[in-house]
Amino acid sequence: MNLSMAGHRRWQLALVLLVTFFVAYMDRLNITFAVPLMATEYGWSETQTREYGSLLMGLFYAGYGLANIFLTPFAERLGPRRSIFIIVILWSLFTALGAWVSQWLMVLMATRVLLGISEGVHVPMMSQLTKTWFPLEERARANSIFVSGLFLAVILSPVMLVPLMDGYGWRTGFVLIALFGLLISLPLVAWLVHDTPDAHPDISPQELAYIAAGRDREALQEDLQMSWRELFTMPRFLLLAAIGSINNVVALGISSWLPTYFIHNRGIAFEDITFLVAVPYAFSLLGIGLWAALGDRFNIRAPLAALGFAGAGIMIYVALQADSLALVLVCFSAGVFLISAYNACELAMIQRIVPLAKMAPSMGVYNGCTTIIGGGLGPFIVSPIITQGGPYWLISTIALANALLLLLAWRLIRY
């Protein structure tokens, strides 16, 4: 069937998921811009800033990872639409609560854990919807649309939050992001998100037939009787989980500390870091669209991701060694562009090897473990490297190792 005749409701769904992912990522990124201001307000030393900042960032990922693993089965019973509706309310509440209780550091840390828990089932539910609504040959692009919400948040968070927090305080930034989630995300989820194509009140018969045909083709390639034991001892699944964990160490570690890096290492004033933090991630949107289109067209997603990781490892090393701020910016931008090749295919590779019936809980385990390991360790591993001047080669070595693992993944899944 001609794609232009197949309808567009599934693409509307992907765009709504983009908005929810954008809001969710703004909620988790706000702390990276708040930490330098909190350090000044509370008189933290450089050591305290590093330790407390790592805790505030890492605790989110601990709660987030555990919720992925243990709460996804409950969310699956509720259904993706209802689950996303509930968690948007919860993460907005905990974001605002973080501003209100910020004078007590331990309570603020508790809100970060709760925020992580509330966001934990988001990616598994979005992945369930993507596998349900999109044929295999469209899935890298579909995933890339909602994953772009992550990069939009990284790009726009400094543009939105730096002047806001600089002018009105970091607590105001927390509250306004919470309101944005409630006022924008909830109506869109209620209107345009449906658990299955059949449940949509306004989908065309042609699009229903197109989606069903894609699902039938994929079912012929899947082991629908796969047991949990077989799934979680599957070398392909374990390999992809290792790759995802390593990616999170690099990506989340650097993004968490990039504002602090420019302020402390480069001596840039807080109000002047907007451009420096936003520009590199602008190239992620270009990259993820290009890599996803190439991956779907030529069926070489893992090799493209391997190429991207290898190039990003080199760019990160040059950026951290460079004296010129312009060269730092160019290399970080190139690194983000290259590493987005992995973001374009990460979820599609999991969706490729996991049956639909086990999609949500499998993605919960995958996303939970990779986040706990990578997101929890990333800020701690990267912090002394980029705030104390090295060893810079370690981040690049980790990236190059992941490139080799992605080539192995290509040999195993041919996707």
Contacting residues for 180 by C-beta, under 8 A, at least 6 apart: 23, 26
Domain of 164, CATH number, reads: 1.20.1250.20
pLDDT at 136: 81
Q: How far is CA 129 from CA 38, 142, 204, 344, in A?
A: 39, 10, 18, 17
pLDDT digits (tens, 9 = 90+) for 17-75: 999 999 999 988 888 888 888 888 888 887 888 788 878 877 888 898 899 989 999 99
What type of residue is 124? P
Q: Phi and psi for 203 in degrees, rounded to 5?
A: -100, 145
Q: Is 202 helix (H, G, I), strand (E, B) or coil?
A: coil
Residue 305 belongs to a domain: yes
pLDDT at 222: 58
Q: What do you get for the CA distance between the two ends of the chain, in Å?
A: 23
Cα distance between residue 188 and residue 13, in whole Å: 9
pLDDT at 4: 44
Only one residue has tokens 């190792």, namely 401
Other CB atoms within a 10 A radius of the CB of residue 279 amount to 16
pLDDT at 200: 92
Residue 20 belongs to a domain: yes
Residue 299 belongs to a domain: yes
The parts of the chain modelled with pLDDT lower than 70 are 1-6, 219-226, 228, 255-257, 375-376, 378-380, 382-390
DSSP string, 33-80: HHHHHHHHHHT--HHHHHHHHHHHHHHHHHHHHHHHHHHHHHHHHH-H
Residue 2 belongs to a domain: no
Cα distance between residue 290 and residue 279, in whole Å: 18
Cα distance between residue 398 and residue 250, in whole Å: 8
Cα distance between residue 18 and residue 21, in whole Å: 5
Residue 166 belongs to a domain: yes
Residue 228 belongs to a domain: yes
Cα distance between residue 27 and residue 63, in whole Å: 14
Mean of the per-residue pLDDT values of the chain = 86
pLDDT at 5: 54
pLDDT at 310: 94
How many domains does the chain contain in total? 1
Residue range of the domain that includes 135? 8-194+204-413
Other CB atoms within a 10 A radius of the CB of residue 44 amount to 18
Surface-to-core class of residue 409, CB atoms within 10 Å of its CB (0-12 exposed, 13-18 middle, 19+ buried): buried
Residue 199 belongs to a domain: no
Residue 256 belongs to a domain: yes
Whether 175 and 96 have beta carbons less than 8 Å apart is answered as yes
pLDDT digits (tens, 9 = 90+) for 212-256: 888 887 766 655 556 767 777 888 999 999 999 999 888 777 766
